[in-house]
């Protein structure tokens, strides 16, 4: 049995992931943006899911989520599910929050990051993370390229920790829209497997519907990985340290 933290779990894929964890006999820690959102997941809390809250669009909110998770203790895996498609919070929610939670939550042996097939259209320019680049707002594809590179880089910096990036498909969630063509019921299956199965697959790898895929070439470039980590450390003031 594993204890798994799922971010952005009040609706959509995150909610489905928590329900599946409980169905399989695991412990789930359910993140919602603010306490009011917990009313939407009362059924999961009644089944034993543990709540943490905090706005991942803010530095303080993300630090609070990490602190709450550490207070609970015993987190075996984190599924970094929370995400936005566009707007001013794209960098904070899609990239900075997963990075900070990776740096600050004690103990997880696995991290599963939600990516997208759209990461292949991202710009391999870590300078886009720089807060001074107001002339170049971060796009969704860029954010998913950076978080996929984070997943690939983590095993070099934390030997023994397994990390994976997952494209869940274009599924009909609030973000994906009602006309999205992929099956919502399959959208969480790969994340669940990678977070809880024994021998789930090669660490640092990129997946889609339970199959390992080839990511954007920059993802495998260690110099790009390091540039992304350096930029994230500069932007957040927190460095990814070995454990």
User: Which residue pairs from 54-61 have beta carbons closer than 8 angstroms and sit at least 24 positions apart in sequence?
Assistant: 56/7, 56/8, 56/82, 56/92, 56/93, 56/97, 57/84, 57/89, 57/92, 57/93, 57/97, 58/92, 59/92, 59/96, 59/100, 59/236, 61/33
The pLDDT value recorded for residue 94 is: 97
Highest mean pLDDT: which range of 149-158, 172-181, 185-194: 149-158
Is residue 172 over pLDDT 60?
Answer: no
Is residue 19 over pLDDT 80?
Answer: yes
Walk me through the domains of the chain, giving residue ranges and CATH numbers.
Answer: 3-236 (3.40.50.720)
187 or 48: whose pLDDT is higher? 48
- Residue 8 pLDDT grade (very low, low, confident, very high; cuts 50, 70, 90): very high
The pLDDT value recorded for residue 147 is: 98
The average pLDDT across 189-203 equals 90
The pLDDT value recorded for residue 181 is: 47
The average pLDDT across 155-172 equals 87
Poorest-pLDDT segment among 79-83, 145-149, 170-174: 170-174
The average pLDDT across 60-71 equals 98
pTM above 0.85, yes or no: yes
The average pLDDT across 146-154 equals 98
What tokens does 37 get?
């959102």
The pLDDT value recorded for residue 176 is: 47
Interatomic CA distance for residues 226 and 216, integer angstroms: 16
Is residue 30 over pLDDT 60?
Answer: yes
Poorest-pLDDT segment among 137-146, 149-158, 179-188, 233-242: 179-188
The average pLDDT across 67-88 equals 96
CB-based contact 34:53 (threshold 8 Å): yes
Q: By C-alpha distance, which of 95, 202, 83, 205 is closest to 145?
A: 95
The average pLDDT across 169-185 equals 53
pLDDT tens digits along 96-113: 999 999 999 999 999 999
> Percentage of residues in the chain with pLDDT exceeding 90?
83
């Amino acid at each position: 049995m594993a204890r798994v933290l799922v971010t952005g779990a009040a609706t959509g894929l995150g909610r489905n992931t928590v329900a599946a964890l409980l169905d399989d006999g695991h412990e789930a820690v359910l993140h919602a943006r603010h306490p009011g959102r917990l009313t939407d997941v009362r059924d999961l809390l009644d089944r034993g899911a543990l709540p943490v809250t905090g706005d991942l669009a803010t530095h303080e909110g993300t630090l609070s989520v990490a602190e709450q998770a550490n207070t609970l203790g015993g987190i075996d895996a984190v599924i970094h599910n929370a995400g936005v498609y566009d707007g001013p919070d794209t960098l904070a929610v899609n990239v900075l929050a997963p990075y900070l939670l990776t740096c600050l939550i004690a103990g997880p042996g696995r991290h599963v990051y939600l990516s997208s097939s759209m990461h292949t259209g991202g710009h391999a320019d870590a300078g886009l993370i720089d807060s001074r680049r107001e002339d170049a707002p971060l796009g969704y594809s860029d954010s998913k390229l950076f978080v996929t590179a984070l997943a690939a880089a983590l095993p070099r910096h934390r030997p023994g920790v397994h990390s994976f990036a997952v494209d869940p498909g274009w599924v009909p969630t609030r973000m994906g829209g009602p006309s999205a063509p992929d099956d919502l019921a399959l959208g969480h299956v790969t994340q669940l497997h990678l977070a809880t199965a024994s021998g789930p697959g090669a660490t640092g790898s990129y997946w889609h519907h339970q199959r390992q895929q080839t990511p954007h070439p920059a993802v495998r470039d260690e110099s790009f990985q390091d540039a992304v980590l350096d930029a994230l450390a500069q932007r957040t003031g927190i460095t990814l340290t070995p454990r």
